[in-house]
Amino acid sequence: MTEHRDYVGAKMGMWLFLFTEILLFGGLFVLYSVTLGRYPTEFHEASKLLDVTMGTTNTVVLITSSLFAALSVAALQKGSRKTAELFIGLTMALACCFLVIKYFEWSHKIHAGIYPGGETLVQWEPGKQAFFSLYYTMTGLHGLHVIIGMGVFTWVWAMIRLERCTPDHFVALENAGLYWHLVDLIWIYLFPLYYLIT
């Protein structure tokens, strides 16, 4: 019995899912814009408390991981399973690097009491409190998507090892790559909005 494969449906389903993700973050970006319009000075001052070096490093890390994700798809299409597995591994390694950097960045702020309800933050102006509430919400949600992406790539890597994701049937890896590019794109918007406010 031949296994039924609906690649058009799989791709369409992924694009629909990505659209719902865009709606989710789009709503948060609108909320950010409205709040920024209300507290422009406080947002600018709060932004100075973020580590631009860490934010820039994470941007480079994610862009590079997105490149590796694309290369993994290209490698599998050319029939090089081992190379595809290598690029998937590099993608996940950089995802881990991103999360480790974000962990240290968050830890420093939390240790200083700069978090929603923290002893330091509650004494600041409402605008700065709003900034960090949005910062933790949006970067935290993005971090969750990074973790989910790592899980998806782990599953696809296993599918390649089991020869269920092959040069002829690579939609699973292609969809994982699409998801990862969206994760990368969201961060490219988050980085200037929080770290580079002028």
Domain boundaries, the chain: 7-195
Per-residue pLDDT of 30-51, as tens digits, reads 999 999 999 999 999 999 999 9
- How does 132-168 read in b/e, with b if 16+ C-beta sit within 10 Å? bebbbebbeebbebbeebbebbeebbebbeeeebbee
Q: pLDDT above 70 covers what percent of the chain?
A: 96
pLDDT band at 2 (very low <50, low <70, confident <90, very high): very low
Assess whether pLDDT exceeds 70 at residue 3.
no
Query: Measured between alpha carbons, how far is 68 from 90 in angstroms, rounded to an integer?
Result: 7
Residue 132 carries which DSSP code?
A: H
Class of the CATH domain delimited by 7-195: mainly alpha
Q: Which of 77, 78, 139 is nearest to 105 (CA)?
A: 139
Give the pLDDT confidence score for residue 96 in this predicted structure: 98
> Could you tell me the sign of the dihedral formed by the alpha carbons of 74, 72, 144, 49, in that order?
negative
Residues 27, 191 contacting (CB under 8 angstroms): no
Per-residue pLDDT of 163-186, as tens digits, reads 888 888 889 999 999 999 999 999
Assess whether pLDDT exceeds 70 at residue 4.
no
Residues 94, 61 contacting (CB under 8 angstroms): yes
Mean pLDDT of all residues in 87-92: 98
Give the pLDDT confidence score for residue 74 in this predicted structure: 96
Q: Which of 149, 147, 169 is nearest to 159 (CA)?
A: 169
Give the pLDDT confidence score for residue 198 in this predicted structure: 58
Mean pLDDT across the chain = 93
Tokens representing 44 are 């600018």
Give the pLDDT confidence score for residue 7 in this predicted structure: 77
